[in-house]
Amino acid sequence: MFTKVFSTLFVIAATTAVVSAGGRLTLCTDVNMTGHCETISYLNNECINLGSALANEVSSVDPEGDGHKCYLFVNAACQGDHFDFTKHHDDIGVYEDRANSFYCNNAN
């Protein structure tokens, strides 16, 4: 009985870990990953509003690892126009100094 309950709990915990997996995203206030930079941990599909040090200041981005797609939004609460990316960008172009929130998810 104990083994069956333990096995069930393990499967539930493993499933939860897969569903909520995330990663880390580094955002910098200047091009070429310079200026003030912050690395933010996230869960998949979790909208994160940028703090005052990054809001309307981001110029470059670098998601950690492969297999994630991120969306950088011009408004808080992941609303409005967005820049989507799966890899490092030294310059986010027309979205420079406009980002206020982001979310990422598995690109697969």
Ordered per-residue pLDDT tens for the chain, 108 residues: 545 544 444 444 444 444 568 999 999 999 999 999 999 999 999 999 999 999 999 999 999 988 899 999 999 999 999 999 999 999 999 999 999 999 999 876
Do strands 82-85 and 68-73 pair parallel, antiparallel, or not at all (unpaired)?
A: antiparallel
- What's the rounded Cα separation, in Å, for the pair 17 and 63? 20
Q: At the topology level of CATH, where does 22-106 sit? A: Gamma-B Crystallin; domain 1 (2.60.20)
> Which three-class secondary structure state does DSSP give residue 50?
coil
φ, ψ for residue 79, nearest 5 deg: -120, 155
Domain boundaries in the chain?
A: 22-106
What pTM does this model have? 0.80
In this structure, what token pair is assigned to residue 103? 């979310």
Residue 89: Cβ within 10 Å count: 18
